[in-house]
Structure 1
Amino acid sequence: MTLNEVLVALPLVAILRGITPAEAVPVSIALYDIGFRCIEVPLNSPDPLESIAAISAHLGDRALIGAGTVLRVDDVARVAKAGGRIIISPNCNVDVIAATKAAGLFSLPAFFTPTEAFSALAAGADGLKLFPAEVAGPVALKAMRAVLPPQCPVLPVGGVDADTIADYLAAGASGFGIGSSLYAPGRDPADVARRGSALIAAFLQHAHHLPTVDRP
């Protein structure tokens, strides 16, 4: 599955920070079953590469699996070897972005300012993650959307929940990364699925036609 296909199907990234390999597959399958098609395992989780490998083995090409909190160039190859196909970072590191694209993976780095956004795009990013979104807020997103390429996917991450989705969509969000309002360590798959269903319902209630892009 490509990033563009995810954005068309359901542009919500499930962020499973703190998940263990034992939880990874049942939680990911529960999310897949309700419609999630992009799953991120942050590298500061326990044994993250093992979790990425396990999820990739079960969901294969049916979903886009990858790593978050990717800070170093050498992590890109490790994630790719584990079967990850998207690299998500909390910062704009042009070397990580370049390594990601050289490895044939999708790149979704974070930005907080227009300078970071345009630097990321110039380095080859496939989309942008507005982080921390709860600090920037919809007002900042709307202002930056006025100068960013209209086809560029922008996904707010940080503090996003069912109550804030509508405001971000109105400001130009293409989708969202969902963390603690969806998953927390030890939360069972049924609870994660229940929370995920509520987030999907909130998104679909307010979503309009969202521009997408798929770069080779």
Structure 2
Amino acid sequence: MSRPLIAILRGVTPDEVVPIGQAIINAGITTIEVPLNSPDPFTSIGKLAQAFGAEALIGAGTVLDVTQVGQVAEAGGKIVVSPDCNPAVIEATKAAGMQSFPGVMTPTESFAALRHGADGLKFFPGNLIGPSGLKALRAVLPPEVACYAVGGAAPDNFGLWLEAGAAGFGIGSGLYRAGFDVEQVARRAQTIVSAYDALVAA
């Protein structure tokens, strides 16, 4: 079962990324991004892609320019996530055959991202937009557009976001923080997946 959940491993190091990635995938989260402000991120992306590329969607977060897009592709990444809406980054991502999820907050940013080829929209920071803000935007966005809430989305409010029209979630510090061990990440991943599955089943 593929769930619309993105694990954000900000701060992860190359020597720990494979066992942490394995724990996340075992729990049922099969999209993983390594933000580029992590230590040696392209090495971590490469290790994840080599180990899990056949079973998971691996890529980068905090991608801010076209040069970085090329580096993600070279490392074996398949998804590019950004905190902002940069048309050049979106177009370069699509030209490289990867999925593009730019960060947006407003109708202007949302439609600009879609016009340049974004596969989905990352509503960030989610705690500023809130479910009510997303609900208002969903009234004008094409219904097929996948909207992900990132920053402020957690198991205790997944339901509110889903009711507002979120398709999925990016989970950062609620799943992984620098220094967390594999067991901590595994427990948190299982809690996140269980909460999501319970809401969908209901």
**What TM-score comes out, normalization by structure 1 length?**
0.91
> Could you tell me how far apart the structure 1 residues matched to 2:38 and 2:157 are?
26
> Could you tell me how far apart the structure 1 residues matched to 2:47 and 2:97 are?
21
1:4 corresponds to: none
Does the CA-based 8 Å contact 1:169-1:207 persist in structure 2?
Answer: no
Look up the equivalent residue of 1:163 and give its one-letter code.
D
**Structure 1 residue 202 displacement after superposition:** 1.1
> Could you tell me how far apart the structure 1 residues matched to 2:200 and 2:108 are?
28
Q: Where does the alignment leave 5 or more consecutive residues of structure 1 unmatched?
A: 1-7, 210-216
2:170 corresponds to: 177
2:83 corresponds to: 90
Look up the equivalent residue of 2:181 and give its one-letter code.
D
1:20 corresponds to: 13
**Structure 1 residue 96 displacement after superposition:** 0.3
Q: Report Cα offsets for 1:107-146 as digits up to 9, x if no partner.
A: 0001000110000000000000000000110000000001
Q: Report Cα offsets for 1:74-108 as digits up to 9, x if no partner.
A: 10110100010100000000000000011111100
**Structure 1 residue 28 displacement after superposition:** 0.1
Q: What is the RMSD computed on CA atoms of the aligned residues?
A: 1.2
Q: Report Cα offsets for 1:34-64 as digits up to 9, x if no partner.
A: 1111000000000000000011111022100
**Structure 1 residue 160 displacement after superposition:** 1.5
Q: How does 1:1-216 map to 2 (within 5 A)?
A: 9-207=2-200
Look up the equivalent residue of 2:155 and give its one-letter code.
A
> Could you tell me how far apart the structure 1 residues matched to 2:190 and 2:72 are?
28
The percent of aligned pairs where both chains have the same amino acid is: 53
Change (3 A) 1:173 1:205: same
Count of equivalent residues: 202
> Could you tell me how far apart the structure 2 residues matched to 1:208 and 1:67 are?
30
**Structure 1 residue 208 displacement after superposition:** 6.8
> Could you tell me how far apart the structure 2 residues matched to 1:192 and 1:70 are?
24
Q: Where does the alignment leave 5 or more consecutive residues of structure 2 unmatched?
A: none
> Could you tell me how far apart the structure 1 residues matched to 2:61 and 2:12 are?
12
**What TM-score comes out, normalization by structure 2 length?**
0.98
For the residue of structure 2 that corresponds to 1:61, the secondary structure is coil
Q: Which 4+ stretches in 1 moved above 2 angstroms?
A: none
Q: Report Cα offsets for 1:170-189 as digits up to 9, x if no partner.
A: 10000000000000011011
Look up the equivalent residue of 1:15 and give its one-letter code.
I
For the residue of structure 1 that corresponds to 2:173, the secondary structure is coil
**Structure 1 residue 207 displacement after superposition:** 2.4
